[in-house]
Every structure is written in C-alpha cells, then in structure tokens.
Amino acid sequence: MEKKIAVLPGDGIGKEIVQGAIEVLQTIAERFNHEFTFTYGEIGGAAYDAAGVPLPEATISLCKESDAILLGAVGGPKYDTLPVHLRPEQGLLQIRKELNLFANLRPTTYYESLADSSPLRKDIIEGVDLLMVRELTGGIYFGQPRERKVVDGKEAVVDTLYYEKAEMERVIRKAFELASARGKKVTSIDKANVLESSRVWRETAIEISKEFPEITLEHMLVDNAAMQLVRNPRQFDVVVTENMFGDILSDEASVLTGSLGMLSSASLSENGPFLYEPAHGSAPDIAGKNIANPLATMLSAAMMLRISFGLEKEAESIENAINEVLNAGYRTGDLMAEGKKSVSTTEMTAQVKSAILAGK
C-alpha cells in the first residue's frame, strides 16, 4: 500500500516524539511491504517563526493533499506574549476547523505493566478500556463573540458557547457507531442541570440513540463524571461530550493508566483526511532533552494505520511491540517506577522498532 502522510511536528517535544513515530511507521512499512512517504509542514510556534502565522496556507494544502496527518504538539512560553490570533494553539484550532475534524477519539486502555505508574489503586484501574469521543470543532472553543469589553463602566469579558444541533448529532452518532463495535454502551456527558446547550445535547443524544436500539445510553453530569472517572472507571465504554468538557476529562482519563504520555488520539471528519496526534502538550520544560515519552505518538500512528488505512495487523504490531517493551521494563521518565529501566526517547524508539521486527 502506498500512502502519503503529512507530518507537522510543531513545537517543544513535538519534533522528538514525531521522529519516534515516523521511525516506527517506517519499520512497519519495511516489515509489511508498504510505502509511506512523509512530507513535513509547519504548525504552531515553529510556523510563526518561519512564516509569521501559526497555520500557513502551505500547511493547509499539504494536509488536504495527504492521506493522513501526523501532528506532534504546539505551544511554548516564548509565544505567550503574542496576540491571541498568532499564538501556536490557534494553529491547532484552525487545522481542526479547516479539515472539519469534528470527532476526537481518545482511548484509555489499561496496561498491566503500568499499574505502578498510575496514581490510582490497581483494583480501580484494572481492565479499564474506555474511549472518549470529544466534539472538536464547536462549543466555547470557537463561539463568537469572544471579547473583553466595558459594560456600564465595569470591565467584563465574554466567551460564547455556540452549537448547531447538527454538530451535536454528527459527533453523537459517531460515538454510537463506535460503541456498536465495542461494549455497546454510550455515556453522554453534559451539564443539563445548568446549561441550555447541555439540555439540547441530552435531547439529541436521546434522539440519536433511537437509531441504535442495541446500545445502552446513559447520561451523566460532568461534575459527577469527573468523580466517577477516578472512583469506578470500568463503568465506561464510549463517552461522548462537548469540546471543553472533553478536553478536561480526557486529561483526567489519561492518568488512569499511567501517564498523559500514553494518550493517543485520532481526529475524524466526514471524509478525511484524518489527523493523529498525542493528546499531551509540547512540554517545553523537557524539550530537546531526549527524555519525552514517544509512545502516545506511536499509538496515534497505530490508530492512523487502523482507521485511515484499514491496516489492522500493522496497527496491532505497533501496539503489541509497545506492550512488550513496557513488559520488559523500559520506561521514559514520566512512567518511571522502582525497579524499571529508565530510557531516553531514542532508546525507547529503538526498543519499539526492534520489537516490531521481532514480532509475530
């Protein structure tokens, strides 16, 4: 199979972790006889430095011409004083909007070998397998107006939470479709006791659920969900929620199984191309030190193989290799626990590559 992959490393640890994932994809190509070509583009602070904007036109065209997109991370303290529209995060928000990537999938899976790295007790996290589906192109992230102003002589500020019903329908439908192939349960998270948008979200979830009679729909208020995630995370299968709630809850969900450094993600549109990125940030404090955890990016690359290219056994090959390497005790700093072998980003990458080549 021949595929063209756009690579947007971005800022901070972005370059290091993306490099790890590309080497892993090249190893897969070698082992399973595929041809992946990688074309680099700029996004975030790196794009601002090179082109004066966080998302240059050239990057948008590159993405649209590619079969899939692999992204690292954006942001850094260097850009904190820039006006909002030039900040690195805008690059990420704009690419999501440009490509209409409305459904962001963030899986949390239990790794036996990482039980010691989780802040929670093993009996709580054992067997967790949940998929968070976060709405990614609407809500308070994008609503207008968003501005500071003076009202009756008082300093004030507005952000707008705006959703079209169709935007709710398509992401909720996606969650139900995903649940059909999994545990057949959808938990829809909202704040329907306070927000009108959440009341419409809840009604929409009920309507969509009628298309999927075999799937159980449950509603949960977001504050309760935050608590349930650490109290009894095994109760969840597919979770679907709006943009901001999903942002917050997915960070929380990620540490259930060790570290944010393990949380992969796929962002889907109706027709592609889809974008794959780790859910963590650019970690400027550890950038360039060769200590970042590349596994979330590699797991995102595995999602690319499975979802965009339909290469199931290749995806599993990456996942199995990562499992083996963790079982063998190799850990980057974020996952380090007593008695384990501390490795750098490049050593971790080398371990995963050789596990792929040695794999069945």
> Of these, 16, 167, 247, 324, which contacts Mn ion (CB under 5 A)?
247
Q: Is 184 a catalytic residue?
A: no
Q: Which of 5, 15, 36, 32 is nearest to 287 (CA)?
A: 15
The single residue of 11, 67, 190, 247 carrying the catalytic annotation is: 247
The residues, ordered by sequence, that sit 6+ positions from 259 with a Cβ below 8 Å of its Cβ are 114, 117, 293, 334, 335
The single residue of 116, 129, 184, 251 carrying the catalytic annotation is: 251
- Alpha-carbon span 266 to 249, nearest angstrom: 16
Contact partner at residue 92 from Mn ion, ligand IPM, none, CB < 5 to 8 Å by partner kind: ligand IPM
Report the first-to-last Cα separation within the chain, whole angstroms. Answer: 20
Minimum separation from the CB atom of position 122 to ligand IPM (A):
27
Q: Please identify, using beta-carbon distances, which residue of 113 and 259 lies nearer to ligand IPM.
A: 259
Minimum separation from the CB atom of position 267 to Mn ion (A):
12
DSSP assignments along 110-179, one per residue:
--GGGGGGSSS-HHHHTT-EEEEEEE-SSGGGTEEEEEEEEETTEEEEEEE----HHHHHHHHHHHHHHH
> Of these, 70, 192, 253, 279, which contacts ligand IPM (CB under 6 A)?
279
The single residue of 40, 49, 165, 223 carrying the catalytic annotation is: 223
Q: Is 247 a catalytic residue?
A: yes
Is residue 129 marked as binding?
no
Is residue 80 marked as binding?
yes
Q: Helices in the chain by DSSP H: which ranges? A: 14-32, 45-51, 57-65, 88-98, 122-125, 165-180, 196-209, 222-231, 243-254, 295-303, 312-327, 345-358
Q: Please identify, using beta-carbon distances, which residue of 89 and 169 lies nearer to ligand IPM.
A: 89
Q: Which of 351, 249, 305 is nearest to 70 (CA)?
A: 305
Q: Is 251 a catalytic residue?
A: yes
From the centroid of its chain, how far is CA 296? Answer: 9
Per CB under 6 A, which of residues 67..126 are in contact with ligand IPM? Answer: 75, 89, 92-93
Q: Is 141 a catalytic residue?
A: yes
Pattern 16-55, ligand IPM, x by CB under 6 A: ----------------------------------------
Catalytic residue IDs? 141, 191, 223, 247, 251
Residues in contact with Mn ion by CB under 5 A are 247
Which residues make up each annotated binding site? Answer: 76-89, 96, 106, 134, 223, 247, 251, 281-293
| Numbered residues of the known binding site for NAD(+) | 76-89, 281-293
